[in-house]
Structure 1
Amino acid sequence: MAAHAVDSDAVDPHGRFDAVAAWADSGLAWLTGWPEARPDFSRAPILTRADAIGRRITATTGIAVDVPNILAGRAALLGLRRRGDMSAGGATALLAATDGWCALTLSRAADLDTVPALVESDAVDLDPWPAIRRWAARRPAAEITARARLLELPAATLGETTQAPPRIRPSGPRGRVRGLAQCLVVDLTSMWAGPLCAQLLARAGAVVVKVESPRRPDGTRGGDAAFFDWMNSGKLCWAGDLDSEADALRDLLAVADIVLEGSRPAALDRRGLGPHDIAARPGRIWLRITGHGTEGARAGHVAFGDDAAVAGGLVGSSGGRPVFCGDAITDPLTGLEATAAVLDSLERGGGELVELSMAAVAATYAAMPGAAIDPSRTATPPIRPTDIGPKAAAVGADTDAVRRLVAERLAAC
């Protein structure tokens, strides 16, 4: 995914990637820290790993991947900047507890409606955060997180998740080793991490079908159109209800070479649409992105990019307090890691279920040593992506074409 060429300052005199310069030039520093204080550079080294992932994708597929812009481009489109203990997008807050820190996300209308039950008070103003902060300040972080999750709110205790690689299990017979050209990818994901992975696969030559429910389309359709197009242009769009049109979706999944899933696993499993319910196709790769994995006490809990970052400990530091790092940074990092995981599985012949936890991805990056930066180092605002494709397809615009594609593939089996 090419956007702007990384500034020449991001390459040292020996031609090596300079993470600190890239952190400054991309806008990631601009997005990390308190608005009235200097930008925070402590997490700049994470770009070393992210850049290596981007180079792997480029080497395998031939597409240009501008990692710093992928991480900061949305902020440029939305005009975001650093806000300290509030996420750049404004939906997530870092909350001081009696024994540490936790994060809470209120990004959906239903989340806001739940606040009185969370704080056990009907006296909540239009801006709920002061009441939430007062309530949290009297409780330990684990209790805050547990109560929020009981109410199905996205929440996390700082550093509760440890780093872990993708979980890989056999899900069918292996196939021949192949590239992405003409692979059929079914994209069941929404928001950012999964759609980014699907977008990169599409640019590498795959045929990508974005699946959306007419009743509940991808939530980012209601936001900035340029961001939605950046993530979703070039994909076919199939619209269908998971319940009333489950058979049609089952046929689509049966002929797919790669399936990208971003919902809670139970949502598909209870409809007989999970990776072990669909007839095995040789070499099929089923990649599942979750917030907190599929096993253990946190399995199944919903997560967004900023609270998942807090779960993994991927935060900056300013004035002795944690601050949000970048803009929902776990989303694009997970999208890049997911793309690399798909390419790795292709090289093994597929036949695998690959699971990535966003919180574990954040923890993997958080485990990298921090950086001590020259305080005179300056930062620039994020740069608007220049490679936004044509307008993405409307919900269901390609349903008939996808049905024909499925019929052709079924006939060829």
Structure 2
Amino acid sequence: MAFQPNEKTNVIAYANTLLAGLNLSPLSDVPFIETHPAINNARSGVQGHAHPSSNNKIIPTALADYADGALLALKSVAQDNPLKTNLPEYGAHLLGERMALFNTHPREQVSAGGSCHFFEARNGYLAINLARDEDFDLLPALTDAQIPITTDKQILENAFKKFSIQDLIPLGRDLGLAISAVALPDYDSFDNWVSMSPSATSQYPSPKVSPLVVDLSSLWAGPLTGSLLAMLGAEVIKVESSKRLDGARRDKSDDQGEKEFYDLMNGGKKSFTCDFTTQEGREQLLQLIECADIVIEASRPRALRQLGIHAETLLAKKPGKVWLSITAYGHGPATENIIGFGDDIGVAAGLSSLMDIIHGRPLFVGDAITDPLGGLHGALATWACWMNGGGMIDLSLYQVLGFALSQDPLIRAFNKNNLIRRTSEWTKILNMSDENMYPVRKASKPAPPPGYHNEEILRKLDALQKS
């Protein structure tokens, strides 16, 4: 289901498309003031944090409108919740806030976060996200040992020119690299944005009951979902391994922006830590998950199974329970173990190829763009599932962005000339704009230190065990 190419109705039409995918009624009369998608993109900061009329490279599709539409749909689903006014005013505000706080922007060959890089292969370009130290150790195996283990960008720049994309992508993914080709996917294949399996033993919540959410996720997409649920009144417990805390937690960093961003994602949550490597820690983790009304996780399924956590079994034990599983490319034997991060998934969904078509070279779009979009869509799916009796949610970040892009009629029925014409028109509109960037949100409260609420939560678990 694709909205019509009326650039003044993107947000409401996209919100209704998302609601239709959840089998929910469309929006009624909505007092939503729409802005032009080019201005909305620029003001959101997804094109970089300069004035909207600056010479940043135009993104030729309505990304900020898709973010606004997802948040508008969430507000519709939560319309009977008196706390819905705690949600951000616009979803677009969330797209560029990390770049604003970190004072970063995408560069020619490197993502805003600094870890994802474009490399030229024999027959095209690919993106590799070298986010972890061990990723560099895998590069020799990717190139038949033709390059050493190195972080030297000049050596890496020419390392892949002898190899084809068709060989590099599957091998890289088998090795555990976050790797994707700069190419346009088949947008006709994105028939929905989420896969949801209703609970066989549905139990609808009392309107007076706020769900208990256990957030096992880290970094951005999952924590954003949890923070939006907290704004709706849920009690959210952020759970971390005491041996490996959330990588976004930078308590020893002098960068105030990093702390402010972590507080935005986790400031309204309680903190619980346990040692996943011990029997006691795994028992505490399992007991906490059993008590939860909603579970948010962004792990590969085999990682959870190794901890003795089986989503289907736990869903069956508690009617009405919701399990949100966020992955790079979705569940299923062919996809569930593929590594992916926000930037390289954005490349896989075609954004950098669109920029190549319009601007003459592949470019990164925004900052880990599928994370804020995934978090917004994840909150919508989760709250809708909670209100409708529970179940399993398979949310693929690739599917979310691919579906959003497929709603653009100039992309779905690909027409290069029309896209170039649109970019020219949007550039003229921006050059006439005198609007400022959207303000960066402020966290409602600081995120608690690791394990700050352990005693309180363990007492509750002990009481539940005895009852």
**TM-score normalised by the chain length of structure 2:** 0.78
Measure the CA separation in 1 of the matches of 2:232 and 2:397.
24
Q: Cα distance, 1:365 vs. partner?
A: 2.3
Superposition pairs of residues 11-410 of structure 1, within 5 angstroms: 15-30=33-48, 38-59=55-76, 60=78, 61-65=84-88, 66-119=90-143, 120-121=145-146, 123=148, 126-127=151-152, 129-158=153-182, 159-160=184-185, 162-163=189-190, 164-178=192-206, 182-222=210-250, 224-244=258-278, 245-278=281-314, 280-315=317-352, 316-317=354-355, 318-350=358-390, 352-367=391-406, 368=408, 369=410, 371-372=422-423, 373-376=425-428, 377-378=430-431, 385-409=440-464
Say which SS state the counterpart of residue 221 (structure 1) adopts.
coil
Matched letter for residue 87 of structure 2:
A
* Inter-CA distance 22–231: structure 2 relative to 1 (3 Å threshold): same
Q: Cα distance, 1:213 vs. partner?
A: 0.5
Give 5+ residue unaligned stretches, structure 2. Answer: 1-9, 12-31, 79-83, 411-418
* Inter-CA distance 179–135: structure 2 relative to 1 (3 Å threshold): farther
Q: Cα distance, 1:149 vs. partner?
A: 1.8
Instruction: Say what the alpha-carbon RMSD is for the aligned residues.
Output: 2.7
Say which SS state the counterpart of residue 427 (structure 2) adopts.
coil
Say which SS state the counterpart of residue 307 (structure 2) adopts.
coil
Q: Cα distance, 1:31 vs. partner?
A: 6.6
Matched letter for residue 230 of structure 1:
L
Measure the CA separation in 2 of the matches of 1:381 and 1:156.
34
Measure the CA separation in 2 of the matches of 1:160 and 1:41.
21
* Inter-CA distance 243–178: structure 2 relative to 1 (3 Å threshold): farther
Q: Number of residue pairs matched? A: 395
Measure the CA separation in 2 of the matches of 1:52 and 1:232.
23
Q: Cα distance, 1:346 vs. partner?
A: 2.1
Measure the CA separation in 2 of the matches of 1:100 and 1:204.
45
Of 251-260 and 368-377, more deviation after overlay is shown by: 368-377
Measure the CA separation in 2 of the matches of 1:217 and 1:387.
23
* Inter-CA distance 387–172: structure 2 relative to 1 (3 Å threshold): farther
Q: Is the 8 A contact 1:154 1:301 kept in 2?
A: yes
Q: Is the 8 A contact 1:255 1:410 kept in 2?
A: no
Measure the CA separation in 2 of the matches of 1:180 and 1:356.
28
Say which SS state the counterpart of residue 71 (structure 2) adopts.
helix
Measure the CA separation in 2 of the matches of 1:251 and 1:273.
10
Q: Which has the higher contact order (CA 8 A, sep 6+)?
A: 1
Q: Is the 8 A contact 1:98 1:141 kept in 2?
A: yes
Measure the CA separation in 2 of the matches of 1:176 and 1:26.
37
Q: Is the 8 A contact 2:40 2:92 kept in 1?
A: yes
Measure the CA separation in 2 of the matches of 1:211 and 1:285.
17
Measure the CA separation in 2 of the matches of 1:144 and 1:204.
44
Matched letter for residue 204 of structure 1:
L
Say which SS state the counterpart of residue 312 (structure 2) adopts.
coil
* Inter-CA distance 150–106: structure 2 relative to 1 (3 Å threshold): same
Measure the CA separation in 2 of the matches of 1:31 and 1:95.
26
Matched letter for residue 44 of structure 2:
S
Measure the CA separation in 2 of the matches of 1:80 and 1:286.
34
Aligned-pair identity (%): 29
Q: Is the 8 A contact 1:236 1:402 kept in 2?
A: no
* Inter-CA distance 201–391: structure 2 relative to 1 (3 Å threshold): same
Say which SS state the counterpart of residue 25 (structure 1) adopts.
helix
Q: Cα distance, 1:123 vs. partner?
A: 4.5
Measure the CA separation in 1 of the matches of 2:234 and 2:460.
14
Q: Cα distance, 1:122 vs. partner?
A: 5.0
Of 65-74 and 364-373, more deviation after overlay is shown by: 364-373
